[in-house]
A and B are shown apart, each in its own frame.
Chain A
């Protein structure tokens, strides 16, 4: 998926899409949706609007839905970028009108949206119970159990590496052996990096910040406790990750490249680094940046347990008038059958348990990555994720400040670890 071409700072770009569904609640008398009112007649003519961004892979699916439900007319609005969609969403939420019946959102926006649960219809229903991997559902569930979004895609993370550089440094290069050599913890990962560095001039990782991001996503409460109180400054776990990743940088393992910068993009053509944190959507980014470079491969492992980066949801804002019809459509679009179709057309990686074991998915391989069974690998990586980190309203602000703190030491080299940590403490105080 090429969405990677559009760079966005911290999140993945895109996330895309969607899926499908199957239960066809709309037609079947079977599972009746729980809410009841005069508007629930599934056969009444209705026009629904759906707002997405980048490429969710919905075009064909929506046609299919309309054909199966002649009374429903669906208008699909696509924003060019996620930022554009986000601005639109925020503005119209504030204005109280103008939103589509179904609005797609990225996982990173959920923390702030969950502060306004009344703005979104509770989407809990029997037909979707257990549809998604557990942590995906947890991301869109408010503290009092309301489900505000149906999961579309996810970005489970593996480790991408340069097999040719591994070989040159005398390390194993076969993906199964590399997975074993990378071990299970971050200490293993950095230890192999030192071994690599002893034999190679190429840096081990792109930057300290990129690795830190993967690490912090494995902490259940990194920056805020369950009540939303900021604990980032006192949390010993956070400080330990900060010190660990900067120690690795100080040992020369980092290429000191800010993700998405021109230097970073250019480095793919110049043996810039040997390994990188690799959510499923990153494959397209690497392939685009590293065109004609051979040697990229994927190891089916991730240090410190599983990891996820990015992913989207479909929400039904309460300001719309057709809650039930919109909910049925969102349900259908995010069912496993439809998600598999979207995956086949646009490569958006499904978040549905059933879709993860579909043969269509697990049979997928990627020629650029030396024929790696990407479907199989990322499917296993998705199942390996155990932690759904708590992200309150201040999370992204604190994480930005942390990325800058690490950047000052690792990339800019204007501070040492201690002085940069002090500035981090000042910065998060300003968020209050």
Chain B
């Protein structure tokens, strides 16, 4: 009797084990996410509903006043403009350059490892060092680039005064740092493409360019989506490069290159010390990133899905024929 009972208990336990264990195994991630992701997100929203001073702490509940205040600010919209402009300048060139570089590195070239390591080198240089080097290059009066332009009698570019000029300079820094990293991701994905596809295309008389467009790109679709999404998240939060672009870190006298994250920092830690407003902008940025992410996902999926079906069909036909 006693043993039957204990057996029943054991059975229950083992059933429970089967049902429960998977959740326990995956729980560390979700617990961490709740503590480090979800809670701060919710708390930021709570803060954004109050007057909240960096030193003084929580003040009166003000509802959505912080949101309406910041949306009414010219600097907020200028921050949006700059963020998207720098994001597009860096994101697009970076992805295209990385694709091209990866395609070249994927060929049978000499000293492959050397070249592959080479593209990653800028990624391991400390961002501060990159900042120092580039600020010497992009100095308006004494910079290296304007010095070189002078050899060709080209007027110096006002890197720190013009809007587009400053964005180009900052996008250059971002690209320098990230292109190599993205290249390696593309390269890894390219090497996973079955070589039969290329052989088949070759038999059909497709040239290199045609193979790249009709096989490589469609096969890279999941990777491109990944790269574009992460680049969006990172690009819209760009902070370090524009912040160190001049000494005051406010984004230029006319806020030529002040990004949204710099605006958040200025609101929360600058002279206003208003966490409430900073939190409100953070939430707006959060929603925008989600929106743009979804949009990107939709676009990238459309761009390559048509082609990829064709290729798959072609490949299938070839196999049958073989």
Contacts and interface: CB of A to CB of B under 8 A. Distances in A.
Contact of B55 (A93, A398, A403, A411): A93
Interface string A106-134: 00000011011001000000000000000
Given A411-B160, A413-B161, 13 more contacts: A9-B249, A116-B55, A258-B246, A259-B247, A260-B247, A262-B135, A262-B139, A262-B142, A403-B253, A404-B253, A404-B254, A415-B254, A430-B75
B250 A267 contact: no
18 contacts: A10-B248, A90-B269, A112-B55, A112-B273, A258-B246, A261-B139, A262-B143, A263-B139, A266-B142, A397-B271, A404-B252, A404-B253, A404-B254, A412-B252, A412-B254, A413-B161, A414-B161, A431-B271
Main SS class of interface, A: helix
B59 interface: no
Nearest to A404: B253
Nearest to A264: B247
A7 B131 CA distance: 14
A431 B55 CA distance: 17
A316 to B, nearest CB: 17
A297 B130 CA distance: 36
A90 B274 CA distance: 13
Contacts of A7: 247
B161 A90 contact: no
Which 6 A-B residue pairings sit nearest by Cβ, starting from the closest? A397-B271, A407-B253, A412-B161, A260-B247, A262-B139, A404-B253
Interface string A407-431: 1100111110000000100110011
A413 B256 CA distance: 13
B136 A262 contact: yes
Contacts of B161: 411-414
B254 A408 contact: yes
Interface majority SS (helix, strand, loop, mixed), chain B? loop
B153 interface: no
Contacts of A9: 247-249
Contacts of B5: none
Given A116-B55, A414-B254, A258 B271 contact: no
Nearest to B273: A112
A194 B247 CA distance: 30
B253 A397 contact: no
Interface string A1-19: 0000001111000000000
Contacts of B74: 426, 430
A32 interface: no
Given A267-B142, A404-B254, A430-B73, A261 B247 contact: yes
Nearest to A257: B141
A346 interface: no
Contacts of A263: 139-143
Interface string B210-253: 00000000000000000000000000000000000011111011
Interface residues of B, number: 32
Given A90-B54, A413-B161, A431-B271, A404 B250 contact: yes
B57 interface: yes
B248 A411 contact: no
B270 interface: yes
A421 to B, nearest CB: 13
A94 B57 contact: yes
Contacts of B81: none
B252 to A, nearest CB: 7
B252 A394 contact: no
B56 interface: yes
Contact of A397 (B140, B249, B270): B270
A261 B246 contact: yes
Interface string B269-307: 111110000000000000000000000000000000000
A424 to B, nearest CB: 11
A360 interface: no
A87 B54 CA distance: 10
B126 to A, nearest CB: 16
B158 interface: yes
A396 interface: yes
Contact of B247 (A258, A266, A404): A258
B150 to A, nearest CB: 15
A261 B132 CA distance: 11
A397 B73 CA distance: 15
Interface in B180-218: none
B160 A412 contact: yes
Contacts of B248: 9-10, 258, 400, 403
A53 B294 CA distance: 46
Contacts of B56: 94, 115-116
